[in-house]
Structure 1
Amino acid sequence: MPGIDESRSFVPVHIAVLTVSDSRTLDDDRSGDTLVQRLTDAGHILADRKIVKDEVPSIAGQLTAWIEDDGIDVAISTGGTGVTGRDVTPEAFRSVFEKEIEGFGELFRWLSFQKIGTSTIQSRAIAGVARGTYLFALPGSTGACKDAWDDILANQLDIRFRPCNFVEIMPRLREHELFGRSA
């Protein structure tokens, strides 16, 4: 049965939060605030927080800076995952991914379907890995951020979660750099 193994010690993860918006500021960024509150309440460390415009170069540039920062383990974004013309977060994320974690978007939409029905089809939430950094792109609503954190990320970013989690495999995310890529 999946759950927290209390015999293991919690390991805080360094998480950066990115809000993708043409109009939000730190004063009115409720979705970013939701993520910050949840990750710090869980015992993780807020490594950085930024707001960038809905533009692929701005989003990819910030992600790249965090990917290159050894002090950041995870980056979570909110906003820009819909289907309108300005929604380009998934494209920016894919431009920096080494590997996509397809199951994240699938699971997010399955969980979201239970709450908002077929409206979840408009979400392009995605996740991936680049240079040992986990990258998660969430919709811009506070409800979506709560659902993604509470129902997926809280467990997967907790090394005590069994049967497996993202934290315990973090040391292995860059194996290909040490041993070379196989052809």
Structure 2
Amino acid sequence: MATPTHHEHKQQAPKRIGCMVVTCSDSRTPDTDSSGQLIMRLFKDQGHEVVAYHLIKDEPSQIRSKIEEACANPEVQAIVINGGTGIARRDSTFEAVDGMLEKRLDGFGEIFRFLTYQEIGSPAIISRATAGIVKGRVLFSTPGSEHAVRLAMEKLILPEIGHLVRELTK
């Protein structure tokens, strides 16, 4: 009996994922949150459901609270957080997220930084984009720029989100 290929796994993946989008920013408003709006639009364009959207300050307690809220909602299968992944004093998303991850998807951050490096060069090392599993949900944390969000969504998250959710529910 042949082992299923990754193509076969993707074919068996759910086509509609329930997602929560969280923007971490001290300066954006729902009207100026172009990155959060882009994530939601790209999810919807692919047939996924945005169950919840939140715009919060880049405060670890608020970030952890939203992740816990997502994990308590059975409709949320995936969480995408944008913003706060740099090294500025106020950038604390990575620390909040990393401390909650039960399993890490190191390849996400590695490949994201590689793709970013191909586009902008050495400043890619500043990104602390990360991903992993929290209480049966897949979580992605991306930089907050619209360009970075588009890259992460189109090249990594959207192509694999169904596959990841399928793997979590096996």
TM-score normalised by the chain length of structure 1: 0.85
Contact 1:138 1:144 (C-alpha < 8 Å) held by counterparts:
yes
Q: Could you tell me how far 1:170 is from its partner in structure 2?
A: 2.3
Q: Distance in 1 between matches of 2:21 and 2:92?
A: 17
| Cα pair distance change 1:98/1:42, threshold 3 Å | same
Contact 2:26 2:57 (C-alpha < 8 Å) held by counterparts:
yes
Contact 1:90 1:137 (C-alpha < 8 Å) held by counterparts:
yes
Deviation >2 Å, runs of 4+: 1-10
The answer for the alignment partner of 2:165 in structure 1 is 167
Structure 1 segments unaligned to the other structure (5+ residues): 159-164, 173-183
The answer for the alignment partner of 2:91 in structure 1 is 87
Q: Distance in 2 between matches of 1:61 and 1:149?
A: 24
Contact 1:20 1:89 (C-alpha < 8 Å) held by counterparts:
yes
Contact 1:75 1:134 (C-alpha < 8 Å) held by counterparts:
yes
1:126 matches 2:130: yes
> Which one-letter code corresponds to 1:167 in the other structure?
V
The answer for the alignment partner of 1:17 in structure 2 is 21
Structure 2 segments unaligned to the other structure (5+ residues): none
Q: Distance in 2 between matches of 1:96 and 1:114?
A: 30
The answer for the alignment partner of 2:114 in structure 1 is 110
Number of aligned residue pairs: give it: 166
> Which one-letter code corresponds to 2:47 in the other structure?
G
The answer for the alignment partner of 2:38 in structure 1 is 34
Q: Distance in 2 between matches of 1:4 and 1:83?
A: 39
Q: Could you tell me how far 1:4 is from its partner in structure 2?
A: 8.9
> Which one-letter code corresponds to 1:27 in the other structure?
D
> Which one-letter code corresponds to 1:171 in the other structure?
T
Contact 1:18 1:52 (C-alpha < 8 Å) held by counterparts:
yes
Contact 1:19 1:78 (C-alpha < 8 Å) held by counterparts:
yes
Q: Could you tell me how far 1:100 is from its partner in structure 2?
A: 1.4
What SS class does the counterpart of residue 121 from structure 1 fall into? helix
Q: Distance in 2 between matches of 1:19 and 1:148?
A: 15
The share of aligned pairs that are identical, in percent, is 33
Contact 2:13 2:166 (C-alpha < 8 Å) held by counterparts:
no
What does the per-residue CA deviation read over 1:94-126, in whole Å, with 9 as the maximum and x for residues that have no partner?
Answer: 122111111110011011111111111110000
Contact 1:64 1:96 (C-alpha < 8 Å) held by counterparts:
no
Q: Could you tell me how far 1:25 is from its partner in structure 2?
A: 1.0
Q: Could you tell me how far 1:10 is from its partner in structure 2?
A: 5.5
| Cα pair distance change 1:135/1:153, threshold 3 Å | same
Contact 1:90 1:126 (C-alpha < 8 Å) held by counterparts:
yes
Q: Could you tell me how far 1:167 is from its partner in structure 2?
A: 2.7
Q: Distance in 1 between matches of 2:97 and 2:11?
A: 36
TM-score normalised by the chain length of structure 2: 0.91
| Cα pair distance change 1:101/1:9, threshold 3 Å | closer
Contact 1:60 1:95 (C-alpha < 8 Å) held by counterparts:
no
